[in-house]
């Protein structure tokens, strides 16, 4: 059985990143390497919030980013997910953006995704925040997905 990876907005965004700054080029490179060479090893899922985020604003490769996840299964938003998001806000786990990081974590936790894949190292893939996330999810009786970047899911020799 394949492990489940929740694809957060930064993954399709960086796959189609166009900025030329060295750090942007590197994130695009690693995102593409993982997606093109390793994503098939996992059951990929995402949330409607990711699609909504990608549709907001106007960026050069917006349609391509949406196309990248077109075949990814969308996991349902259910009432308990909203309650989890509220709990995250009450415990100051995530910024108060109801369609943002808290929602991604709540969806991945509620649906027991093995991994939440992101380049968001401020609020999600952040070792300094993980203990707080673990405590709150444990208190809520929730699964605790591993919060990782594409680099952490590459295979040997990458």
**Sheet of 43-46, strands arranged across:** 73-74, 43-46, 4-7, 115-117, 146-148
In angstroms, the CA 2 to CA 43 distance is 6
Strands 43-46 and 73-74: parallel
User: Bridge-partner residues for 46, per DSSP?
Assistant: 74
pTM: 0.93
| Domains annotated on the chain, with CATH | 4-152 (3.40.50.1010)
Running DSSP on this structure, what letter comes out for residue 61?
T
Q: Where does 1-147 have alpha helices with state H? A: 10-15, 22-37, 48-55, 62-68, 79-90, 101-110, 127-139
> How far is 55 from 49, CA to CA, in rounded Å?
10
One digit per residue, the tens of pLDDT, for the chain of length 158 reads 999 999 999 999 999 999 999 999 999 999 999 999 999 999 999 999 999 999 997 888 999 999 999 999 999 999 999 999 999 999 988 877 656 899 999 999 999 999 999 998 777 877 878 889 999 999 999 999 999 999 999 876 66
CB atoms within 10 A of CB 127: 8
d(CA 49, CA 121): 19
Give the SS3 label for residue 2: coil
- Read off the tokens for 107: 């969806």
What residues does 73 pair with on adjacent strands? 45
């Amino acid at each position: 059985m394949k492990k489940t990876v929740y694809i957060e907005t930064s993954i399709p965004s960086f796959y189609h990143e166009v900025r030329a700054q060295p750090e942007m080029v590197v994130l695009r490179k690693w995102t593409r390497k993982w997606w093109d060479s390793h994503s098939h090893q996992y059951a990929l899922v995402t949330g409607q919030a990711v699609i909504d985020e990608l549709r907001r604003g106007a960026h050069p490769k917006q349609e391509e980013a949406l196309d990248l996840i077109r075949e990814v299964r969308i996991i349902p938003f259910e009432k308990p997910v909203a309650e989890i998001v509220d709990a995250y806000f009450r415990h100051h786990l995530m910024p108060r953006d109801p369609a943002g990081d808290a929602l991604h974590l709540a969806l991945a936790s509620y649906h027991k995704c093995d991994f939440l894949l992101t380049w968001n190292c401020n609020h999600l893939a952040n070792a300094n925040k993980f203990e707080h996330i673990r405590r709150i999810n444990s208190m809520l009786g929730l699964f605790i997905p591993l919060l990782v970047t594409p680099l952490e899911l590459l295979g040997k020799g990458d």
